[in-house]
């Protein structure tokens, strides 16, 4: 899709595209094709933190999908979840992703394994493209 310039904004999802390194490759490929990047991020506050770090080093970054951690597990699973003020999120300066996982919070929420709902090919790549 990028190589044939079939889109102007690339929206990789860190969970679906293969992780951080694959997302950085997608962002870099989009950059050399003069495309902007607007990552999808609807999974969790921790994914938001990973995305914040990832896009902080992405020159062609446009905007990050964001869901406020204002209810239940989204609010409780991190000590100090990412907060947005005036449309901007600060890059944490703590070690790792800049947050601590609140392991006690997991006891209050049922475990629901995440399952990819999109078809995939035998090699693991997404099949809907």
Fold of 9-108: TIM Barrel (3.20.20)
Q: Where are the domains of the chain?
A: 9-108
CA distance 50 to 28: 17
Please report, in angstroms and rounded to a whole number, the separation of the first and last CA atoms in the chain: 8
Per-residue pLDDT of the chain (129 residues; tens, 9 = 90+): 888 888 889 999 888 888 899 999 999 999 999 999 999 887 778 888 889 999 999 999 999 988 777 777 777 888 877 778 888 888 888 888 888 888 888 777 777 676 656 777 888 777 765
Report the alpha-carbon distance of residue 61 to residue 89 in Å, rounded. 14
Helix (H) or strand (E) holding 54: helix 45-56
């Amino acid at each position: 899709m990028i190589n044939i310039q079939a889109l102007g904004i690339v929206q990789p999802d860190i969970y679906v595209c293969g992780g951080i390194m694959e997302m950085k490759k997608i962002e870099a490929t989009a950059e050399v094709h003069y495309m902007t990047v607007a990552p999808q991020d609807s999974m969790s506050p921790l994914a938001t933190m990973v995305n914040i770090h990832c896009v902080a080093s992405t020159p062609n970054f446009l905007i990050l999908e964001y869901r406020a951690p204002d209810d239940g597990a989204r609010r409780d699973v991190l000590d100090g979840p990412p907060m947005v003020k005036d449309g901007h999120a600060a890059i944490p300066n703590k070690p790792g992703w800049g947050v601590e996982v609140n392991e006690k919070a997991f006891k209050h929420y049922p475990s629901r394994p995440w399952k990819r709902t999109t078809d995939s090919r035998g090699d693991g790549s997404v099949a809907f493209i």
